[in-house]
Every structure is written in structure tokens, then in C-alpha cells.
């Protein structure tokens, strides 16, 4: 059955799209539950360090085992209500119990995951390179979602992502080992240097350390050669979005805007089209 799926292009793409929808539903859970779990662990560590005593608080739901519930009324989401995209449409975007509006972000994440998975397999094919690219894509979706919500890029995601990239470098799946290690170092140090230079000049912090680690992870996956493109794409798009939001009044000047989603988007674009973009720029420069 798997061989038939791989050999038939329409079936393969349909299967990848369906898998992306289902996996996108899981990524929604990861985006929502990792921050509360991290905050719970931090509070427990602080209490232990300060030797504080008090009532033990209830641990937030885990990622895999705990059942999804409506955040308003606590209604347990049934399997028929958890079908990616379709359930949202059939429920008209409302909880079946209390009729509270369900955020459209849930089907949006599911559709985005399905489309990005489809494009990834279309580009790389159903091979080891394609499968590992799906893993990177999933990480980037989750990191972008968490950063949008909490302005946080968790170490328990960025650092493993970086080490996976370096590990893949041993077999030159996306880049060779030397480029991977150099990319990790250059990715971290480049934003680290910009951060400290900006702070020296303005007295303000322009980004967080999670941004350094995310760029280091992308450098580990794709090599140091693509880092200028990722930084350029993320900076240009980030500046454009930021200016648009400020002009429209949706973002105050003194309110920080997460940079992680722009790094993640630029990293995925570079993963798929980076070589073509660099080649196009090189040809244009030579022609000029």
C-alpha cells in the first residue's frame, strides 16, 4: 500500500495533505500546552529553590494524553468534533456546548501545516530529505505559534532542533557537517552581536535570546551559506509588517513584536527556494 502511494503522485500528494491536516491538529495542541507546562515547571523550580511551602498546584494538561476541552465551559471535545477543518465548519466556529466562538486559528494552523507539508514533499520528494524537512517544518510552525502568543521561543525546542540539524550533517542530508556546525555558530553569534550593538546604541533590547538559538538551528540544518538570506528576508518582512501595524494603529511604538515568526517563515522559504533565490541574485548581479 505504501509503495502504491509513493508511486502514484496524486495519491501521494493527497495523502501528504491529509496527513498535514491531522498533524496540524496535533501542532495546535503543542502550541497551546507547551507554555503552561513550562511556566508550571518554572514555578516549581522557584518554590524549590526558595524553599517556599504552600498548596501544590495542579499540573497543566500534557501534550499527548490529556483530552482537549473548551477553555470556556470545559466541555470535552469528542472525536467527531475534532476532525481537522471540517469540524470547525460544521460547528460554525462555535463550541457545541456553550456556543463560545472557537478561534479561527485552529483550522488556519491545520490548513497551513497541510499546505507546507504538501509543498515540502513536492520539492524534496518522498525520501529521507523530504521526511526530515517535514520535521523542520513542524518545528517552525510550533515555534512561530508560541512566539506569537507568548513572545517565547522555548529552549526545549530550539536547542534539540539545532542538535538534530548537526546530527543530520554527519550524513550530509541537507548540508555537510562542517557547514552545519559553522552555521550553528554563525547563526547564534550574528544575532547576538546585533543584539548587543543595538543595546549599546539605544539602551534597549531589540530581540530575545530565543531568536539567536532559532537562527543557530536553521544554520545547523542548512549551513552558514544561507544565513544572510534568512536574516535579510526576516528583517525586510518583519519591518514591513511592523510598520503596517503601527500605521494602522494595531501596534504601539513601545510594544515589542515577536521576531521568531519572521525567522521561521524566512527559514522555511529558504529551505524550499533558497538555492533558486541565491542563484537568481547571483545571475542578476553578474548580468548587471
Tens-digit pLDDT profile for residues 112-130: 999 999 999 999 999 999 9
Q: For residues 81 and 15, state if they share a domain.
A: yes
Q: For residues 118 and 180, state if they share a domain.
A: no
Instruction: Report how far residue 66's alpha carbon sits from residue 37's, in angstroms, rounded to the nearest whole number.
Output: 13
pLDDT at position 4: 58
* 137 or 199, greater pLDDT: 137
1 pLDDT exceeds 70?
no
* 274 or 93, greater pLDDT: 274
pLDDT at position 91: 84
Domain boundary among 98, 126, 154: 126
Domain boundary among 96, 126, 156: 126
pLDDT at position 97: 77
* 207 or 135, greater pLDDT: 135
Q: For residues 114 and 134, state if they share a domain.
A: no
Domain boundary among 126, 159, 182: 126
Q: For residues 110 and 197, state if they share a domain.
A: no
Q: For residues 37 and 146, state if they share a domain.
A: no
Q: For residues 108 and 159, state if they share a domain.
A: no
Range of the structural domain that residue 268 is part of: 128-288
Q: For residues 132 and 122, state if they share a domain.
A: no
% of the chain residues with pLDDT over 70: 94
Tally of domains in the chain: 2
288 pLDDT exceeds 70?
no
Extract long-range pairs of 123-127: CB within 8 Å, 24+ residues apart.
123/272, 126/6, 126/12
Amino acid at each position: 500500500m505504501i509503495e502504491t502511494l509513493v508511486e502514484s503522485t496524486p495519491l501521494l500528494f493527497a495523502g501528504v495533505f491529509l496527513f498535514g491536516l491531522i498533524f496540524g491538529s496535533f501542532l495546535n495542541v503543542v502550541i497551546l500546552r507547551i507554555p503552561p507546562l513550562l511556566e508550571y515547571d518554572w514555578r516549581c523550580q522557584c518554590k524549590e529553590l526558595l524553599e517556599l511551602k504552600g498548596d501544590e498546584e495542579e499540573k497543566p494538561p500534557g501534550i499527548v494524553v490529556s483530552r482537549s476541552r473548551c477553555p470556556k465551559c470545559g466541555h470535552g471535545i469528542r472525536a467527531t468534533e475534532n476532525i481537522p477543518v471540517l469540524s470547525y465548519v460544521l460547528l460554525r466556529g462555535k463550541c457545541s456546548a456553550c456556543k463560545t466562538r472557537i478561534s479561527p486559528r485552529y483550522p488556519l494552523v491545520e490548513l497551513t501545516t497541510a499546505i507546507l507539508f504538501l509543498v515540502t514533499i513536492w520539492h524534496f520528494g518522498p525520501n529521507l530529505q523530504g521526511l526530515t524537512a517535514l520535521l523542520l517544518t513542524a518545528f517552525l510552525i510550533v515555534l512561530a505559534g508560541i512566539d506569537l502568543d507568548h513572545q517565547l521561543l522555548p529552549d526545549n525546542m530550539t536547542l534539540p532542533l539545532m542538535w538534530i540539524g548537526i546530527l543530520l550533517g554527519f550524513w550530509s542530508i541537507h548540508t555537510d557537517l562542517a557547514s552545519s556546525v559553522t552555521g550553528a555558530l554563525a547563526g547564534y553569534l550574528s544575532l547576538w552581536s546585533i543584539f548587543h550593538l543595538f543595546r549599546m546604541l539605544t539602551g534597549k533590547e531589540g530581540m530575545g535570546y530565543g531568536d539567536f538559538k532559532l537562527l543557530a538551528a536553521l544554520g545547523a540544518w542548512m549551513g552558514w551559506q544561507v544565513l544572510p538570506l534568512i536574516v535579510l528576508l526576516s528583517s525586510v518582512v518583519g519591518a514591513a509588517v511592523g510598520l503596517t501595524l503601527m500605521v494602522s494603529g494595531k501596534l504601539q511604538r513601545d510594544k515589542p513584536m515577536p521576531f521568531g515568526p519572521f525567522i521561521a517563515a524566512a527559514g522555511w522559504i529558504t529551505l524550499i527556494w533558497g538555492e533558486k533565490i541565491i542563484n537568481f541574485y547571483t545571475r542578476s548581479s553578474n548580468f548587471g
